[in-house]
Amino acid sequence: MGGQLGNVAFVIWRESVEALLVIGILNAWLTRQQGAAAGRGRTYLWAGVAAGLLAAVVFGTVLILFGETLPEATQQAYHTAAVLIAAVLIVQMVFWMRRHGRTLKHDLETSLQRASDSSNWWGVFVLALIAVAREGSETVVFLSGTLAAARLDSFMAPALAAAAGFALALVTYSLLQVGSRILSWKTFFTITEIMLLFLAASLLVTGVDNLIALDVLPPLSGRLWDSSAILPDSGPVGGLIGALTGYRARPDLMQVLVYVLYWGVMCWTLFRSRPKSRPETKTA
């Protein structure tokens, strides 16, 4: 359970920093504008942020209510789908940032300039809404998959973990704004990309476990080995490692094949899509 709560804090931390990055870029551009334009644009900016947060909350509420309306017999299938969708979206998000992060600041500022030239401040509102709603919706799906994997009965512990993750995001963003003297954006994205890919691997293995339990996938073998005497995945340390990486003390062949195939595809794809430089993220 502790490992899954750590995943909750990590997801909130990473996604919040990314959302703060986008908001910071928009706000920094508006700050450089002259006259009443800056104040007017900032009003639309924060209205868009609020609307994006509301959209994410509504989306999360719909997901929770939908899950609660399902009959008990289909709950495991729903949890399995949530876990696997979260894994796919995490991988998609990692590669989206690698592909678009380098030009993120330029693209956002170009869109802002067009809105300013046409006095269409609703464009600022839409940019902020989309950015925050996207990050918020991704976070909702990630957390839905993580909590489904954890099967937690209470939301108090995840809520505290989420609050800790957001507080850490504020501190991290402040350090990143100071510059490379303390923590660089390149280092941040490199480390969190690796952590996210391990989290996706963990969710993928959990999804495979559920599919085997539902008789959708065959295990293909009995237990290939048993390392529980050294590091049980039911203990505090092994459970944490399992939640963060997908470690299993007594895996079967299907779990091992999926895990190896996943990392093979990730390594091959990362090598092919290695960016020439990291995201341009300076906001002021």
Split at pLDDT 50, 70, 90, the class of 172 is confident
Query: For 20-46, what is the mean pLDDT?
Result: 76
State the sign of the Cα–Cα–Cα–Cα dihedral 42, 45, 51, 52.
negative
DSSP state of 252: -
Q: How far apart are the first and last CA of the chain?
A: 40
| DSSP 3-state of 8 | helix
Distance CA 66, CA 59 (A): 11
Closest CA to 49 of 115, 139, 124, 129: 129
Instruction: Indicate the SS3 state at residue 9.
Output: helix
pLDDT digits (tens, 9 = 90+) for 190-223: 888 888 899 899 889 989 998 998 889 999 888 8
CA angle 60/63/69 to nearest 5° reads 140
* 240 pLDDT above the threshold of 90: no
Whether the pLDDT of residue 265 is over 90: the answer is yes
Length of the chain: 284
Provide the 3-class DSSP secondary structure of residue 229.
coil
- Model confidence at 255: pLDDT above 90: yes
- Residue 12 near residue 169 (C-beta atoms within 8 A): yes
138-147, 162-171, 190-199, range with the lowest pLDDT: 138-147
Pair 203, 87: CB distance under 8 Å = yes
Q: What is the pLDDT of residue 9?
A: 80
What pTM value is reported for the model?
A: 0.76
d(CA 134, CA 18) in angstroms, rounded, equals 11
Q: How far apart are CA 7 and CA 4, in angstroms?
A: 5
